[in-house]
C-alpha cells in the first residue's frame, strides 16, 4: 500500500509545476502561510524555523523533553522523565495510543499551507548499516489557484534495533486541502497511521560482556497499531464585502463580524498483539483464552461533530474581544474480548459537550485567554477542562515575557482501564474520574535567552499501572512541583545551552521522578560568506536516580516496576550541523559517546537498554518553485 502512496506523492510533485504555472508571471510577492488548527479546529498561524540550532535533535520525544525513557529503539514507546513535559492526552480516548502520541499524525497536529508557489520539504536520516535506522519526512503543498491549496505529508521510521526481535516499522501519511474564498473556508484531511513493532519483552541479561550474545524474553511477539481519520472543518463568514487596491490590483475581501463553523471527524483506532510462542517462553502468568498462543485485539471508532459561533475581525477590532462558543457530539463504539470467548463485546456511547474560548486584551501588551469544555452526557458526562492564561510582553517583546496558566480538569478513566479482556490480562474496575489542578508561571528575557518557570499540580484519583501491570487508582491527593531554569550564553562564535529542572513527586511509589534533570550543550558556529554556516559541538544530559518503570508489551503500557533505579547516568553526544545557502540543512551526529565507559548497558526501562555508540547523518531540502 505504501508503494502506492509514495507513487501518488511523486505524481503530485510532478503535477505541481503544471498546475501552478499561471502564477509564475504574477507580480505579487511569493508568500507562504503555515498554520495548524487549535482546540476548536480554527486556524492558528505558526512560523517556520530555518535555524541550524539543535537541528541534530530530530527524534520527536527528544524535541519535547530533555530527559526521556524509551525502549531503546527509534519509534518505540516513550515516556518523558519530566512530568510537565508529558503528553496532554485529555483529547485521547484510546489509551493504547499514548506511548506513541508524538509519532501519530492526527487532525489536531496536521499542517496546512497557503503558498503562491509550490513548496516541497524532504528530510532523511540514516545510521550505520548494522542498526539500519532510517527516517523520512516528505511534505509537498501547492495552490491549485489563489483560493485552493492541496498537499501531502508522509513520515516513516524504520529500525532493526541493536538487540534481538526489536524491529520497528512506522508509516504515516496525510492528504490535506484547504479552501478560502469570500465567505467560505474549508480545511480537510485524510490521515492514516500504520505502526508495526516486534515485541521482545526486553533483554534477559544486561550485564553480559558481549552484546551480540544477549537474548530477549520474547521471540514471536508482535504488535500493530492503526489510526485512520477523515476530517473536515468549515466556516461561513457574515459581513459586508469590501474592495481595496493592492499594487494596482483591485482585491475583494469580506469585512466579517461573525462566522458559523462546523467540524466533522470520523476515526478508527485499532491495536493487535500476537505471540505465536506464548506457551513456550514462560513470560506470561495467565492464559485466559488460549493456552498455546495469543491474538488480542481492541478497537475504538468514533464520529465527532462540532458546531460553533465565532467572532471575526470587525467585531474584535471594535471590542477587543475574540470568542468561540459551540456544542459537540461524539458517537463512540468500543470493541473488546469478553467472558473469555472470542465474541464481540461492543459498547456504544453518545457524548455531548459544550465549549467556549474567549480572548481579551486586558492591559497594554497583554492578553487574557479563557478556554473551557464541559461534557454534559455520555461516557464522559461530567468531564471538563477549564484554563485561564495571562500572557504579557514588554513594549519590546525581546526584553520581557510573562506567562501565567491555570488549569482545572476532570476526566473519566479511559474505557480500557475499566474494561479489558485479553489472553493474559483482564480487569473490570470501578474507577472514579481523575481530577487535575495545575498552575504554571514563567518569566524571561528572550533577548538574553533567559527563562525561569515554576509549575505545580494537584492530582486527584490519579490512575497508573502497578507492579502487576494492572491499572490502579491512588485514593489520595498527589502533588507534583517543578522549577526549571534555562540560560543560554552567546560569545561571538561560541554558544552554550543550559537547562536545569528540579521536580518532586508527593509519592514515589505511585509516581517516581528524577529530582534533578540537566542539559548542557556547547557549539562553535562558523560562517563562510552567506553560503555556508557550520556548528560543531557536544551535548550532555543527566538526571539523578529515580525508580525505574517497566513496559508490558501485552497491554502496551508503562507500569511501575520499581525493582531498580534508573538515572544517575550521563548521555553524551557530539554533532555537526550545517546549512548550505537557504534550502539545505545537514547534521552528522555521534550518539551515546560514553557508551561502555562507566557501565556496559544503561536501561532507563526495566530490561530495555538504550543503544550503544552509534553515528547518524541527516539532511533536509526545501524547494520553492
pTM: 0.90
Half-sphere exposure of residue 584, counting CA atoms within 13 Å on the CB side? 7
Distance CA 601, CA 617 (A): 24
- Give the torsion sign (CA, 90, 92, 95, 99): negative
On the question of pLDDT at 259 being above 90, the answer is yes
pLDDT band of residue 246 (cuts 50, 70, 90) is low
CA distances from residue 170 to 153, 155, 224, 258 in whole angstroms, order as listed:
14, 8, 10, 42
Q: What is the mean pLDDT of the chain?
A: 89
User: pLDDT tens, 423-464?
Assistant: 999 999 999 999 999 999 999 998 899 999 999 999 999 999
Q: Is the pLDDT of residue 556 over 70?
A: yes
For residue 487 the three cell numbers come to 540560560
Q: For position 201, what pLDDT does the model report? A: 94
Chain segment 274-304, per-residue pLDDT in tens: 999 888 888 999 998 888 899 999 999 999 9
Q: Looking at residue 5, what is its pLDDT?
A: 45
Among candidates 512, 428, 501, which has minimal Cα distance to 478? Answer: 512
Q: Is the Cβ–Cβ distance between 155 and 172 less than 8 Å?
A: yes
Q: Looking at residue 573, what is its pLDDT?
A: 97
Is the pLDDT at 391 greater than 70, yes or no? Answer: yes
In DSSP notation, 194-208 reads EEEEEE---BS-TT-
For residue 209, the model assigns a pLDDT of 55
> 20 or 373: which carries more pLDDT confidence?
373
pLDDT at 10: 45
- With beta carbons less than 8 A apart as the criterion, state whether 121 and 139 touch: yes
- Burial of residue 405 (number of CB atoms within 10 Å: 0-12, 13-18, 19+): middle
Give yes or no for a contact between 98 and 89, defined as CB atoms under 8 angstroms apart. yes
What's the pLDDT score for residue 17? 39
Q: What is the tens place of the pLDDT at every residue in 67-114?
A: 999 999 999 999 999 999 999 988 889 999 999 999 999 988 888 998
pLDDT of 265 > 80? The answer is yes
Domain total of the chain: 1
pLDDT level of residue 529 (50, 70, 90 thresholds): confident
Looking at residue 16, what is its pLDDT?
42
Average pLDDT on 305-332 reads 94
* Residue 11's pLDDT band (cuts 50, 70, 90): very low
Banded model confidence at residue 169, pLDDT cuts 50, 70, 90: very high
pLDDT in tens, 106-138: 988 888 998 888 999 999 999 987 678 999 999
pLDDT over 70 percentage in the chain? 90
- DSSP-assigned beta bridge partners for residue 218: none
Structural domain range at position 36: 2-624
At residue 245, does pLDDT exceed 80?
A: no
pLDDT of residue 394: 67
Q: How many helices (H) and strands (E) does the chain have?
A: 4, 36
Lowest mean pLDDT: which of 11-25, 130-144, 354-368, 445-459?
A: 11-25
- Percentage above 90 pLDDT, the chain: 69
The CATH code of the domain that includes 578 is 2.40.170.20
The whole-number pLDDT of residue 456 equals 98
**What pLDDT sits at residue 241?**
83
Amino acid at each position: 500500500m505504501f508503494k502506492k502512496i509514495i507513487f501518488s506523492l511523486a505524481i503530485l510533485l510532478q503535477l505541481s509545476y503544471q498546475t501552478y504555472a499561471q502564477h509564475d508571471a504574477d507580480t505579487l510577492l511569493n508568500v507562504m502561510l503555515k498554520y495548524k488548527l487549535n482546540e476548536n479546529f480554527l486556524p492558528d498561524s505558526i512560523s517556520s524555523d530555518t535555524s541550524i540550532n539543535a537541528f541534530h535533535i530530530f527524534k520527536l520525544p527528544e524535541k519535547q523533553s530533555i530527559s526521556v525513557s524509551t525502549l531503546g529503539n527509534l519509534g518505540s514507546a516513550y515516556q518523558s522523565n519530566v512530568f510537565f513535559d508529558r503528553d496532554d492526552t485529555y483529547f485521547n480516548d484510546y489509551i493504547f495510543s499514548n506511548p506513541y502520541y508524538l509519532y501519530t499524525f492526527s487532525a489536531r497536529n496536521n499542517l496546512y499551507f497557503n503558498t503562491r508557489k509550490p513548496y516541497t520539504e524532504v528530510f532523511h536520516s540514516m545510521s550505520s548499516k548494522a542498526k539500519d535506522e532510517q527516517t523520512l519526512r516528505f511534505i509537498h503543498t501547492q495552490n491549485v489557484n489563489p483560493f485552493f491549496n492541496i498537499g501531502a505529508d508522509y513520515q516513516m521510521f524504520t529500525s532493526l534495533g541493536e538487540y534481538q526481535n526489536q524491529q520497528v516499522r512506522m508509516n504515516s501519511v496525510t492528504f490535506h486541502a484547504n479552501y478560502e474564498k469570500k465567505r467560505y473556508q474549508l480545511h480537510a484531511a485524510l490521515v492514516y497511521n500504520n505502526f508495526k513493532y516486534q515485541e521482545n519483552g526486553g533483554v534477559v541479561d544486561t550485564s553480559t560482556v558481549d552484546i551480540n550474545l544477549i537474548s530477549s524474553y520474547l521471540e514471536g511477539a508482535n504488535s500493530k497499531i492503526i489510526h485512520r481519520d477523515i476530517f473536515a472543518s468549515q466556516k461561513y463568514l457574515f459581513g459586508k464585502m469590501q474592495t481595496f487596491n493592492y499594487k494596482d490590483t483591485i482585491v475583494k475581501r469580506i469585512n466579517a463580524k461573525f462566522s458559523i463553523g462546523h467540524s466533522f471527524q470520523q476515526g478508527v483506532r485499532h491495536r493487535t498483539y500476537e505471540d505465536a510462542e506464548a506457551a513456550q517462553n514462560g513470560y506470561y502468568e495467565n492464559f485466559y483464552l488460549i493456552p498455546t498462543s495469543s491474538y488480542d485485539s481492541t478497537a475504538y471508532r468514533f464520529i465527532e461533530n462540532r458546531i460553533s459561533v465565532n467572532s471575526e475581525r470587525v467585531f474584535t477590532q471594535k471590542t477587543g474581544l475574540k470568542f468561540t462558543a459551540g456544542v459537540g457530539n461524539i458517537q463512540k463504539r468500543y470493541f473488546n474480548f469478553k467472558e473469555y470467548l472470542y465474541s464481540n463485546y461492543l459498547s456504544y456511547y453518545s457524548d455531548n459537550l459544550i465549549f467556549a474560548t474567549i480572548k481579551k486584551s486586558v492591559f497594554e501588551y497583554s492578553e487574557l485567554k479563557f478556554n473551557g469544555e464541559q461534557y454534559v452526557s455520555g461516557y464522559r458526562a461530567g468531564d471538563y477542562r477549564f484554563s485561564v492564561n495571562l500572557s504579557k510582553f514588554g513594549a519590546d517583546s525581546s526584553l520581557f515575557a510573562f506567562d501565567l496558566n491555570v488549569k482545572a480538569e476532570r476526566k473519566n478513566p479511559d474505557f480500557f482501564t475499566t474494561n479489558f479482556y485479553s489472553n493474559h490480562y483482564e480487569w473490570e474496575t470501578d474507577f472514579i474520574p481523575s481530577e487535575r489542578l495545575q498552575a504554571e508561571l514563567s518569566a524571561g528575557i528572550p533577548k538574553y535567552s533567559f527563562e525561569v518557570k515554576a509549575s505545580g499540580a494537584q492530582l486527584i484519583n490519579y490512575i497508573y499501572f502497578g507492579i502487576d501491570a494492572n491499572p490502579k487508582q491512588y485514593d489520595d491527593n498527589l502533588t507534583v512541583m517543578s522549577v526549571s531554569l534555562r540560560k543560554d550564553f552567546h560569545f561571538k562564535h561560541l554558544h552554550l545551552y543550559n537547562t536545569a529542572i528540579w521536580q518532586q513527586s508527593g509519592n514515589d511509589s505511585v509516581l517516581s521522578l528524577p529530582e534533578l534533570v540537566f542539559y548542557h550543550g556547547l557549539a562553535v558556529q562558523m560562517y563562510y560568506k552567506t553560503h555556508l554556516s557550520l556548528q560543531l559541538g557536544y551535548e550532555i544530559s543527566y538526571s539523578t536516580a529515580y525508580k525505574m518503570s517497566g513496559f508490558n508489551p501485552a497491554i502496551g503500557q508503562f507500569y511501575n516496576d520499581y525493582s531498580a533505579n534508573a538515572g544517575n547516568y550521563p548521555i553524551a553526544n557530539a554533532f555537526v550541523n550545517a546549512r548550505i545557502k537557504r534550502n539545505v540543512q545537514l547534521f552528522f551526529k555521534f550518539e551515546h559517546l560514553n557508551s561502555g565507559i562507566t557501565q556496559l548497558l544503561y536501561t532507563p526501562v526495566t530490561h530495555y537498554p538504550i543503544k550503544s555508540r552509534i553515528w547518524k547523518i541527516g539532511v533536509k531540502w526545501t524547494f520553492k518553485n
